[in-house]
Amino acid sequence: MKYYIKFSILFLLFTSFLLAQEIQKVEPPFWWVGMHNPKLQLLIYGENISEYVVNISDKEVILDSVTKTENPNYLFLNLDFSKVKQPKKIKINLVKKGRKNLRIDYELKPRAINSANRNSFDSSDVIYLIMADRFANGNPKNDSLKDAVEKVDRTKSGGRHGGDIQGIINNLDYIKDLGATVLWSTPLLEDNELVYSYHTYAQSDYYKIDPRYGTNDDYKLLADALHQRDMKLIMDYVTNHWGSKHWMIQDLPTANFINQWPEGFQRSNYRMTTQFDSNTSLIDAEACMNGWFDITMPDMNQRNPLLLNYITQNAIWWIEYAGLDGLRVDTYSYNDKEGIAKWTKAITDEYPNFNIVGEIWMHDQAQIAYWQKDSKIGAIQNYNSHLPSVMDFTLYDELISVFNKDKSTWNDGIIKVYENFANDFLYPDIDNILVFAGNHDTNRINEIYQNDLDKYKMIMTLILTIRGIPQLYYGDEIGMLGNKDKLGDGDIRRDFPGGWPNDSQSAFTQNGRTQTQESYHAFTKKLLHWRKDNEAIHNGKTLQYIPENNVYVYFRIAQTGTVMLVINNNIETQNLDLLRFAEGIKKFTKGEEIISGNEISLQKQLTIAGKKSMIIELQ
């Protein structure tokens, strides 16, 4: 008898456990009242959950329909909240004969004031890009956690180093003091791959900050801390691929949730031109769009409406929850182009002033411009991505070599930069493109130019004064080096000096920086702070002159002022006849050179030393 009682107790405990596990996921975990789009597709996940009948007693909530898939562990509830006017909790009942009824208390929260009309980043900003794992470790307690497969090991360049959200918060004053106004961190969502998880582009949970970085609340605290400093936060968002360890990849709702190939793994051919090439073969186009980015990164199928709804709602959830000021979208042009256009439009419909920049890593201005919102090039194929901003990779292509070209020819030297800007007419919104001299995927700019401070100054002068939104890569402002071609990606993602308690020196403070680091930092800081209030640099018209003797001259002109920029890429001192630049100088007779503070006469001739730049605010 006692064995029977023990068995019964164990059976009841086991049954209770099973019942408790019926609902394993509800996503989004909550939503908001008063959204522009009142409809929500709620995902419910649990063993054989599709066998349950759903009813909602709240008369203000409309259950339009229930979507089931071939996988019985999923239910998708298509809800309409248009009649809901006040925050509340709604009861979602799941009923199955012979089983315990289940209930979800689903919360509709109040929106933040003016949430829909939030401002975003623009050409008045400077973006500071960091890799969270390599920036600063503010909480060593979360370095290696039980449920996180990869543990911290700073001896591995491709391993986890322990940087986290608290480390970022601790050093926000450094970024603000430098003069940057926007923080872009590479992804912070959970990436539970066995190795190389630190970059977090193979995410395993889209509603969860990686616990080695902190919590969802920590991420919101980061946004709040930035806003308190009048700064902004960009989330790095990945639509093209998920991580192989994502819980939905382990138990797909539908077979076509991801792009699958009969032969198994099929790597992308990375030829993004097939997305618009009218002559391309179908097999090549599919290999680009549907091929996997990497073996641990399943390619998501944006043609599947369930997947498209999921990533759309998820992005909106993070914007609303954390108070985000923008998105950077990884590998934008690898997505199904119709699907990603719908995704982008849904977000900008919800937030009309919201800026999203897409990674369009191509090497032709027309091909990049194709992807910007309202592109006339895209319109030829009746295509509009609705993507507000793209990245100026063609300018980057020139920046990594042009300042080593000491002599100019008809088509070489700094003329390459001039020619890049000559194609600005291709872009529908030239002020809203991202300009940069490096990021987490490229060799360090100071490595390319062998720590030549004069060349760094010319590069930063250009990046921070031309049209568009400038982006800096963490550590470039202190001369950090890194060569991925020789030493792998980890070398261009080195730890920021002083971000770890036992670091031998800290570059976060002036006293902690070496003389070389301070030389880079002081120049960058001065230029960034000057830029903050200069309308001509933010939105002014560009007037450029064909380079002569490898000297490039251009003006940024606004009603509030004019700035003259001179970049001498020649190794020899050059004397410029200022009569040639009368159209830009107009009636101005003098100016202040911003970096030196010297007064410059604009009467007849301007002398500039070799491999130097000048920023002259006309007076």
Query: 3-state SS string over 206-247?
Result: EEEECCCCCCHHHHHHHHHHHHHCCCEEEEEEECCECCCCCH
Are 563 and 536 contacting, i.e. CB atoms less than 8 angstroms apart?
yes
Calculate the alpha carbon distances from 226 to 114, 116, 187 in Å. Answer: 18, 19, 17
List own/partner pairs for 418-426 with CB under 8 A and 24 or more apart: 418/544, 418/546, 418/547, 418/552, 420/365, 420/392, 420/394, 420/395, 421/466, 421/467, 421/542, 421/544, 421/554, 422/544, 423/365, 423/366, 423/394, 424/467, 424/542, 426/365, 426/366, 426/369, 426/377
CA-to-CA distance for 183 and 235, rounded, in angstroms? 9
Are 340 and 105 contacting, i.e. CB atoms less than 8 angstroms apart?
no
E strands, 29-87, are: 31-32, 39-45, 53-56, 62-67, 74-80
SS3 call for 376: helix
Sole residue written with tokens 């186009």:
285
Active site residue 330: yes
Question: Which residues, including other chains, have CB under 8 Å from residue 515's CB and lie 6 or more apart?
Answer: none
Sole residue written with tokens 């198994």:
264
Are 458 and 569 contacting, i.e. CB atoms less than 8 angstroms apart?
yes
Query: 3-state SS string over 400-411?
Result: CCHHHCCCCECC
Of the candidates 330, 477, 491, 495, the residue annotated as catalytic is 330
CA-to-CA distance for 398 and 116, rounded, in angstroms? 39
CA-to-CA distance for 345 and 310, rounded, in angstroms? 15
DSSP one-letter string for 303-366: TSHHHHHHHHHHHHHHHHHHT--EEEEETGGGS-HHHHHHHHHHHHHHSTT-EEEE----S-HH
Strand partners, 26: 44
Active site residue 359: yes
Of the candidates 236, 359, 424, 476, the residue annotated as catalytic is 359
Q: 3-state DSSP: the chain helix, strand, coil percent, rounded to 5?
A: 35, 25, 45
CA-based nearest residue to 497, from 472, 480, 518: 480
SS3 call for 82: coil
**Residue type, position 287, single letter:** A
The token duo for 425 is 């007419």
Q: Phi first, then psi: give them for residue 500, nearest 5 degrees.
A: -120, 140
List own/partner pairs for 494-498 with CB under 8 A and 24 or more apart: 494/134, 495/134, 495/135, 495/154, 495/161, 495/163, 496/130, 496/134, 496/135, 496/136, 498/136
* Run of H or E residues at 461: helix 453-463
SS3 call for 553: strand
List active site positions: 330, 359
